[in-house]
Amino acid sequence: MRIWVTATALLLGLGTALPARAETELQKAERRKQEDRARRDAEQAQRHQVEDRARQDHERAERERMDRERMDRERMDRERLRDIRERERMGRDHEAGREIREHEARREAREEAAVRLRMAPPEVRTEIRPSAPSPRHIWIRGYWGWEGGRHVWMGGHWEVPPAPGRVWVDARWVNENGEWVFRPGYWEPVAAPPPPPPPPEPAYAAANANAALAEEVNIALGPPPPRRVEMVPRQPGNGYLWIQGDWIWDGHQYRWAAGRWEAPRPGWVWTPPQWQAAGPHWRWRPGHWRRR
């Protein structure tokens, strides 16, 4: 009897232990599956990082290659242009003087030293112009330069022209094919001013013609270049009016119209030309004489 009871107890204990052991095996299998899934996810993420890094390296190498090709093309263009100018200069050396050659050399140096940037310069500052030291001094307006990898403001100042008959062309930034190119300022020789015009006719026909041509023109280009600083020649006579030079539109491009003296016209006043921004265009109103 005692042996039968003991055997029954052993069978009951074994029946209880088997389900518990089976449950433990299932938990281990599920944990192994989760570990395998996590390992596969980590390996996939690592492969994606390697692929992204390889793609970035390829894109960077492609950009560097394109930049090198662009720089090589620009260098070849500069060399070709230099050769053309050298041949032209050799052909006219017998006519050109030292001043013309120096002017061309300075222009070439400015073009080769031009700074090209992707970002636009800041807005030009408004300066307070001090009194001129003498009537010979010309005001050089301030501008944004490029030094040390950043824009630096160069304040305006008074300066004496290096030689008579020179005008100052302001430094400026020009947008060329999406790049901002810095053009330094320089002194430029100008032709002698035109002789004073003859006295006007009593009917002022020329004034009426100018007034008839004073029509607005919309120009789908950028703003006109900075206005040049001119040296005003001696007044030819009492009452003559100085017409300041300005950029005009000849139907195809901007063209500088030098300043001039105009004989007095009683009953008439001069309206200078105007450049006004009109949305994406620029509106030009030519100067003209009008009755008071």
pLDDT per position as a tens digit, 77-133 = 888 888 887 777 776 655 545 655 665 666 566 555 567 787 888 988 888 889 889
Lowest mean pLDDT among 123-137, 200-214, 274-288: 200-214
Task: Mark residue 253 as left, alpha or beta (left: phi above 0; alpha: psi -120 to 50; beta: remaining).
Answer: beta
Identify the CA nearest to 225 among candidates 264, 269, 195, 188: 188
Q: Which of 53-62, 217-226, 271-280 has the highest mean pLDDT?
A: 53-62
d(C-alpha 21, C-alpha 215), whole Å = 101
pLDDT per position as a tens digit, 143-180 = 998 888 888 999 999 999 888 878 888 888 888 888 88
**Using 50, 70 and 90 to split pLDDT, how confident is the model at 73?**
confident
Which of the pair, 202 or 264, is modelled with greater confidence?
264
According to DSSP, the residues that pair with 144 across neighbouring strands are 153
Contacts for 160 with CB less than 8 Å, ≥ 6 apart: 134, 136, 137, 138
Please measure the distance between the N-terminal and C-terminal CA atoms of the chain and give it in whole angstroms.
Answer: 143
pLDDT score at 178: 81
Q: Tokens in use for 42?
A: 């980590």
Is residue 158 within 8 A of residue 142, CB to CB? The reply is: no
d(C-alpha 10, C-alpha 98), whole Å = 122
**Other C-beta atoms lying within 10 Å of the C-beta of residue 229:** 19
| Residue 162, CA distances (Å) to 101, 168, 169, 188, 232 in order | 16, 10, 13, 10, 16
Is residue 256 within 8 A of residue 230, CB to CB? The reply is: no
Which of the pair, 74 or 200, is modelled with greater confidence?
74
Is residue 119 within 8 A of residue 172, CB to CB? The reply is: no
pLDDT score at 211: 42
Match 């307070």 to its residue by tokens.
128
Identify the CA nearest to 216 among candidates 249, 181, 183, 244: 249
